Amino acid sequence: MFSKQCKAHLEEVGETALQHMMRATKAAIRLQLVVPALLIHGVAPRLFVHTASNVMKDILKDRKDVHK
């Protein structure tokens, strides 16, 4: 069902296909939820100053924590 590259990637990250899908979906949802803050920040830079950066750092931290 999966190509060799897909299987290799799943092995590399140490996840099953379902685990990988769930983590990717969670990251995508979190990023979509921060889009309004980014748009507001673009118009009013004093608002949501670190919101998007913090969300992205959290997503990356979660990935690193999982793959220790």
Residue 68 is given by DSSP the state: -
Confirm whether pTM is higher than 0.85. no
pLDDT at 67: 65
Question: Which tokens go with 39?
Answer: 């748009």
Nearest-angstrom CA–CA distance, 29 and 23: 10
Q: How far is CA 10 from the centre of its chain?
A: 16
- Kindly state the average pLDDT of the residues 30-34: 96
32 pLDDT higher than 70: yes
Q: Angle of helix 17-43 relative to helix 51-66, nearest 10 degrees? A: 160
